[in-house]
C-alpha cells in the first residue's frame, strides 16, 4: 500500500503497486482499477482530489486523472510537460490552498492547477514523405512512376509488376513527435482505418490487384482530433497487355474471322461432296431421300421404291400420294410444314405402307443443308425401321399395367397386415384382462377390487386401441404428427409394464441403464410407445428360443448432438447377415409364425419423427436394436 485518500463523499481510495483500489464500506470489498481500465502505470504512489471531485495520482508512467462518476482515466506523460515517466518513490504530493497540485518522484517534480489543464485541439498537417517500390525509394526521373516528389504528387500510375509498394508519411507537429498518432486507408481495398503510432509512419501493400485506389492518411497529436481531410494519393495499377480490352477485342475478332473462314471452307466442301453423295445414296442399302428448300422435287433412294413398289409413293408429300397411315397423316404433314417454315430439323414417327399393303413403323429424320449465309439449299433425310422397337414398347406398357395392378393388390395386403399388427397387442391385453375379471367375479365371494383393477386395464387398453386406430386414420389422411415433449425413461417403463401383463413375458429379467432420470424427446407418445413395445416383445421372443438364461438390457442416454439414443440389447440367437440388411422390410420375419410387418411399421413411425431405427449383432451373441430420437432442444436449435 503506497497511499490512502478519503474523498469528499467519504469513499476510501488506496494506491498500491498493483493499481488503484476503492473500498466499499458496506460490503468490505475492494474494486481494483489497473492498466486494463486505462491507468497508465501499474503502481499508484500518491492521490489528490480536485474541486470537481476528480482524483489525480502519480504513477510509474506519468500522472492520471480519474473520474469516479464515469470511471474513466485521462493520462498525462512527458508529452504534456512532465519531467519524466516515473513519479513514484517517496509518495510525495501536496495540494495548496489555491488548488495547485505538486507531485514528486524518481523522474523529478511537477506542479499544475487541475482546472487549467485542458486538452490540446491542435491538428497537425500531414504530408507524404517517401514512396518505395519493392523496398527501394523512388525518385522523379525518367522511367519512374513519379514526375514530381511524392509530397507534390496527386496521382501515380503503376504497371502490374509494380504492385508491391510502401508509402511513408509524417505529421508536422514537433512538440513531441513520438506521441503523434496516424491512421490510413486504401480506398478500394481497406474497409476500415488502420491506426498506428508515431513509430510506424508507413503503409505497405503487396500483390495489389489491378484497379484504381485512393490512399488517405490523417494525423493527430496524442489526444487531439484527426486532421481532415488529410493527405491523399490516387494509385492506378495497370493490367498486363494480355488482360487489356484492346487485346481481348483483337482475340475475339481473330476468332470470329477464323470461324467465318472455316465456315466458308466447309460450305465449299459440302457443295463438292453433294454430287458424290447423290451417287452414294443411290447405291447404299438404306431408305434415303432429298428435297428442295421448299419441299419440292422430292427424290427417294432405290430401296424406298422397292419398299413401296412404286416411284409415285411420296415420303413427305409434294402433290403425290403419301404412303403414310391415315391416322398418322395429319400430324406428319403438320410437323413437316413447320420445319420448312422455321428450318428446324424434322423428326417424326409414322406408319408407312409397303408394296403388300402392310404398315410398318418408321422414324423419319430430315436435316437442312445451308450455305454460308444460312439459307437452306436442300433437305437430306433418312427413314429408320422401328417396327421392332414399337412392338417392344407395347409389350412393355402391358407389363407395366400388370405390375401396377399387382402393386395395388400387394399394397392392400400390406396395409391390412399393418392394421392387424398394430391392434393385435392391445386387443390381446383386453382379452386377457377380461378373462381375469371374469375369474375374479366368479369367486365366492367375488373379489371386486381385483375385478375393478382388471376393468381399469380393459379401459386403458381400449383407449390404446382407439389411439392406434386414430394414428392409422391419420396416416391414411396424411395428417401431420402431433408431437409433444415426453420423458423417454417414462415411455420405456410404461411400455415394459404393458408387455409384462402377459404371463408368458412377465418373468423375463430386464436390466435398465439410464444416463439421467429425465431424458426428453419430441414425439407422438402412443406411436413411439408402440415402437418400444414391439422392440421389447421381439427381444423377449428371441431370448425364449435360446438356451442361455434370458436377460434384456435397455440403455437410454443423450448423444453429443442433443438426441436421445435408446438401445435394446438381448442375449438371444442374434440375426443372420441377410436379416441384418432386410429385417425392416415388409413381410420379412425371423419368427416361425411372425407376420414380418412390425419392424417395417416401427421404422416408418420413427422416420416420421425424423429419427433412426437400426439393428446389429452384438460382438458375442444376441442382437442390438437402436432407436434415435430428437430432443426438444435440438428441434428448437435447428429451427
For 480-495, the pLDDT digits (tens) are: 667 889 999 999 998 8
pLDDT at 21: 93
For 383-435, the pLDDT digits (tens) are: 888 888 888 888 888 877 765 555 444 444 544 544 555 566 677 777 777 88
In this predicted structure, the answer to whether residue 260 has a pLDDT above a threshold of 50 is yes
- Give the side-chain half-sphere CA count within 13 A for 478: 0
Cα 17–chain centre separation: 53
For 17-49, the pLDDT digits (tens) are: 999 999 988 888 899 999 888 898 899 999 999
Residue at which a domain ends, from 116, 138, 161: 116
The number of domains in the chain is 4
Q: What is the mean pLDDT of residues 532-552?
A: 87
- Whether the CA torsion 455, 457, 458, 463 is positive or negative: it is positive
Asked if residue 632 and residue 484 are part of one domain, the reply reads yes
Return the closest-CA partner of residue 193 out of 229, 234, 149, 242: 229
| DSSP-based three-state secondary structure for 200 | coil
Question: Of 146-150, 209-213, 320-324, 398-402, which has the strongest mean pLDDT?
Answer: 209-213
pLDDT at 576: 80
In this predicted structure, the answer to whether residue 261 has a pLDDT above a threshold of 60 is yes
Q: What is the mean pLDDT of residues 189-218?
A: 88
Residue 159 belongs to domain with CATH number: 2.60.40.10
CA atoms of 168 and 185, how far apart (whole Å): 13
Lowest mean pLDDT among 281-295, 442-456, 546-560, 621-635: 281-295
Residue 320 belongs to domain with CATH number: 3.30.450.20
Q: Is 493 part of any domain?
A: yes
Comparing 38 with 466, the larger pLDDT belongs to 38
| pTM, two decimal places | 0.33
Tell me the pLDDT of the chain averaged across its residues. 83
Return the closest-CA partner of residue 46 out of 5, 96, 100: 5
Helix ranges (DSSP H) in 284-319: 302-308
Comparing 410 with 258, the larger pLDDT belongs to 258
CA atoms of 598 and 532, how far apart (whole Å): 11
Asked if residue 168 and residue 31 are part of one domain, the reply reads no
Residue at which a domain ends, from 355, 385, 415: 385
Asked if residue 615 and residue 538 are part of one domain, the reply reads yes
Asked if residue 499 and residue 378 are part of one domain, the reply reads no
Q: Is 135 part of any domain?
A: yes
DSSP character at residue 344: P
In this predicted structure, the answer to whether residue 458 has a pLDDT above a threshold of 50 is yes
Q: Is 332 part of any domain?
A: yes
pLDDT at 412: 47
Q: Is 505 part of any domain?
A: yes
Asked if residue 141 and residue 238 are part of one domain, the reply reads yes
Residue 631 belongs to domain with CATH number: 3.30.565.10
Q: How confident is the model at residue 457 (pLDDT cuts 50, 70, 90)?
A: confident
Asked if residue 609 and residue 506 are part of one domain, the reply reads yes
The residue segments making up the domain with residue 57 are: 3-116
Residues in the chain: 639
Compute how many other C-beta atoms are within 10 angstroms of the C-beta atom of residue 120: 15
| DSSP-based three-state secondary structure for 121 | coil
pLDDT at 414: 44
Comparing 477 with 208, the larger pLDDT belongs to 208
Question: Of 429-438, 447-456, 517-526, which has the strongest mean pLDDT?
Answer: 517-526
Asked if residue 194 and residue 67 are part of one domain, the reply reads no
CA atoms of 578 and 592, how far apart (whole Å): 17
Q: What is the mean pLDDT of residues 314-331?
A: 72
Asked if residue 130 and residue 112 are part of one domain, the reply reads no
pLDDT at 544: 83
Asked if residue 235 and residue 278 are part of one domain, the reply reads no
List all residues 6 or more positions away from 538 whose beta carbon is below 8 Å from its beta carbon.
Answer: 598, 599, 625
Lowest mean pLDDT among 82-96, 129-143, 409-423, 497-511: 409-423
Question: In sequence order, what E strands does 524-622 have?
Answer: 552-558, 563-569, 612-617
Amino acid at each position: 500500500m503506497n497511499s490512502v485518500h478519503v474523498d469528499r463523499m467519504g469513499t476510501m481510495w488506496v494506491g498500491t503497486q498493483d493499481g488503484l483500489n476503492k473500498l466499499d464500506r458496506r460490503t468490505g470489498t475492494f474494486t481494483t482499477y489497473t492498466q486494463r481500465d486505462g491507468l497508465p502505470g501499474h503502481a499508484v504512489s500518491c492521490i489528490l482530489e480536485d474541486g470537481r471531485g476528480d482524483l489525480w495520482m502519480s504513477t510509474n508512467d506519468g500522472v492520471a486523472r480519474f473520474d469516479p462518476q464515469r470511471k474513466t482515466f485521462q493520462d498525462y506523460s512527458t508529452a504534456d510537460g512532465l519531467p519524466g515517466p516515473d513519479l513514484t518513490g517517496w509518495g510525495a504530493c501536496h495540494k495548496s490552498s489555491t488548488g495547485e497540485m505538486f507531485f514528486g518522484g524518481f523522474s523529478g517534480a511537477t506542479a499544475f492547477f487541475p482546472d487549467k489543464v485542458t486538452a490540446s485541439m491542435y491538428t497537425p498537417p500531414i504530408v507524404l514523405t517517401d514512396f518505395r517500390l519493392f523496398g527501394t525509394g523512388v525518385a522523379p526521373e525518367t522511367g519512374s512512376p513519379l514526375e514530381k516528389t511524392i509530397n507534390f504528387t496527386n496521382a501515380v500510375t503503376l504497371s502490374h509488376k509494380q504492385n508491391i509498394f510502401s508509402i511513408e508519411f509524417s505529421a508536422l507537429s514537433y512538440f513531441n513527435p513520438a506521441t503523434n498518432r496516424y491512421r490510413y486507408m486504401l480506398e478500394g481495398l481497406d474497409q476500415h482505418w488502420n491506426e498506428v503510432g508515431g513509430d510506424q509512419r508507413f503503409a505497405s501493400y503487396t500483390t495489389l490487384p489491378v484497379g484504381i485506389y485512393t490512399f488517405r492518411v490523417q494525423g493527430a497529436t496524442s489526444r487531439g482530433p484527426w486532421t481532415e481531410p488529410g493527405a491523399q494519393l490516387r494509385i492506378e495499377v495497370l493490367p498486363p497487355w494480355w488482360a487489356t480490352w484492346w487485346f481481348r477485342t483483337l482475340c475475339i475478332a481473330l476468332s470470329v474471322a477464323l470461324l467465318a473462314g472455316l465456315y466458308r471452307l466447309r460450305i465449299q466442301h459440302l457443295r463438292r461432296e453433294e454430287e458424290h453423295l447423290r451417287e452414294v445414296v443411290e447405291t447404299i442399302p438404306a431408305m434415303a431421300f432429298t428435297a428442295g428448300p421448299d419441299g419440292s422435287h422430292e427424290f427417294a433412294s432405290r430401296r424406298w421404291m422397292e419398299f413401296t413398289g412404286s416411284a409415285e409413293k411420296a415420303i413427305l408429300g409434294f402433290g403425290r400420294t403419301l404412303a403414310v397411315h391415315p391416322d398418322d397423316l395429319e400430324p406428319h404433314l403438320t410437323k413437316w410444314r413447320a420445319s420448312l417454315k422455321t428450318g428446324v430439323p424434322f423428326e417424326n414417327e409414322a406408319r408407312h405402307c409397303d408394296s403388300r399393303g402392310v404398315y410398318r413403323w418408321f422414324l423419319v429424320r430430315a436435316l437442312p443443308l445451308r450455305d454460308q449465309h444460312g439459307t437452306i439449299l436442300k433437305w437430306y433425310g433418312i427413314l429408320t425401321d422401328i417396327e421392332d422397337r414399337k412392338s417392344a414398347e407395347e409389350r412393355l406398357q402391358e407389363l407395366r399395367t400388370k405390375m401396377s395392378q399387382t402393386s395395388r393388390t400387394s399394397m392392400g395386403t400390406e396395409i391390412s397386415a399393418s392394421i392387424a399388427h398394430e391392434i393385435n397387442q392391445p386387443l390381446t391385453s383386453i382379452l386377457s384382462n377380461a378373462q381375469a375379471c371374469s375369474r375374479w367375479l366368479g369367486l365366492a365371494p367375488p373379489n371386486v377390487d381385483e375385478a375393478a383393477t382388471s376393468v381399469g386395464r380393459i379401459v386403458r387398453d381400449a383407449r390404446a386401441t382407439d389411439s392406434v386406430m386414430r394414428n392409422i386414420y391419420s396416416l391414411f389422411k396424411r395428417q401431420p404428427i402431433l408431437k409433444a415433449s415426453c420423458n423417454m425413461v417414462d415411455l420405456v417403463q410404461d411400455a415394459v409394464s404393458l408387455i409384462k401383463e402377459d404371463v408368458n413375458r412377465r418373468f423375463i429379467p430386464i436390466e435398465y441403464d439410464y444416463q439421467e432420470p429425465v431424458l426428453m424427446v419430441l414425439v407422438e407418445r402412443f406411436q413411439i410407445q408402440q415402437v418400444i413395445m414391439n422392440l421389447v416383445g421381439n427381444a423377449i421372443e428371441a431370448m425364449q428360443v435360446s438356451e442361455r438364461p434370458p436377460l434384456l438390457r435397455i440403455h437410454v442416454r443423450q448423444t453429443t448432438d442433443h438426441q436421445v439414443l435408446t438401445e435394446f440389447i438381448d442375449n438371444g440367437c442374434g440375426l443372420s447377415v441377410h436379416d441384418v440388411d432386410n429385417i425392416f422390410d415388409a413381410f420379412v420375419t425371423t419368427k416361425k409364425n411372425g407376420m414380418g410387418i412390425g419392424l417395417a411399421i416401427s421404422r416408418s413411425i420413427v422416420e416420421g419423427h425424423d429419427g433412426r431405427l437400426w439393428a446389429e449383432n452384438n460382438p458375442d451373441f444376441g442382437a442390438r436394436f437402436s432407436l434415435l430420437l430428437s430432443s426438444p432442444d435440438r428441434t428448437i436449435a435447428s429451427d
